[in-house]
Amino acid sequence: MPEAPVSVTDALALIVGEADGLDSRVQGDTAAAIDLVERAGRVFVHGAGRSGLALRMTAMRLMHLGLDVHVVGEVTTPAIHEGDLLLVASGSGTTGSIVQAARTATEVGASVLAVSTTDDSPLAELATVTLVIPAATKTDRSGSASGQYAGSRFEQALVLLGDALFHALWTRSGHSADDLWPSHANLE
């Protein structure tokens, strides 16, 4: 628990401060991550809890680019196959369902793009590319990696990283915002 009550303004300052400089602190081959998405036949996203919610936002943006995107666990999600990409997030890199999904993906010949707080985990061992976000895992309550509760910093950074991935892919596509909007406007 914080030492003293803080205002919403103070809390926002903490959150924005922890997000500042994320661009230079993400570790891993971001160019290779972009290439995995561009080469994928289909993109599947999977995360547990708030990480899963953050990845759903990324899935929607990738869909706006015209990619064939699916959220693992939805009733209409097909089976993953060779040539597909599984985009997964787990702060610890040990979440059982996420590691198992990555294992299944690699077994069928799909690529795995993992986002975590560590590159030393069962998930990272299975991943084709791992991007590491410097943040606390949800079980780290020491306050040393973040002043926020549980994995909040990781999940917030995951949203920002997903939007950055989308933005990089969008600018590479050469499409305008108007090009992306008409085909999806009736669905939203």
Query: Catalytic residue among 3, 74, 82, 155, which?
Result: 155
Instruction: Look at residue 10 and tell me if it is in a domain.
Output: no
In whole angstroms, what is the distance from residue 67 CA to residue 110 CA?
16
pLDDT value of position 65:
93
* Over residues 4-29, mean pLDDT: 89
Q: If we measure between CA atoms, which residue out of 117, 85, 116 comes closest to residue 101?
A: 85
C-beta of residue 43 within 8 angstroms of C-beta of residue 159: no
CATH number at residue 167: 3.40.50.10490
pLDDT tens for 22-54 read 888 899 999 999 999 999 999 999 999 999 999
Total tally of structural domains belonging to the chain: 1
Question: Range of 60's domain?
Answer: 25-180
pLDDT tens for 69-79 read 999 999 999 99
Instruction: Look at residue 110 and tell me if it is in a domain.
Output: yes
C-beta of residue 57 within 8 angstroms of C-beta of residue 115: no
Instruction: Look at residue 66 and tell me if it is in a domain.
Output: yes
Instruction: Look at residue 19 and tell me if it is in a domain.
Output: no
Instruction: Look at residue 90 and tell me if it is in a domain.
Output: yes
Instruction: Look at residue 36 and tell me if it is in a domain.
Output: yes
Q: Is 18 assigned a catalytic role?
A: no
C-beta of residue 162 within 8 angstroms of C-beta of residue 54: yes
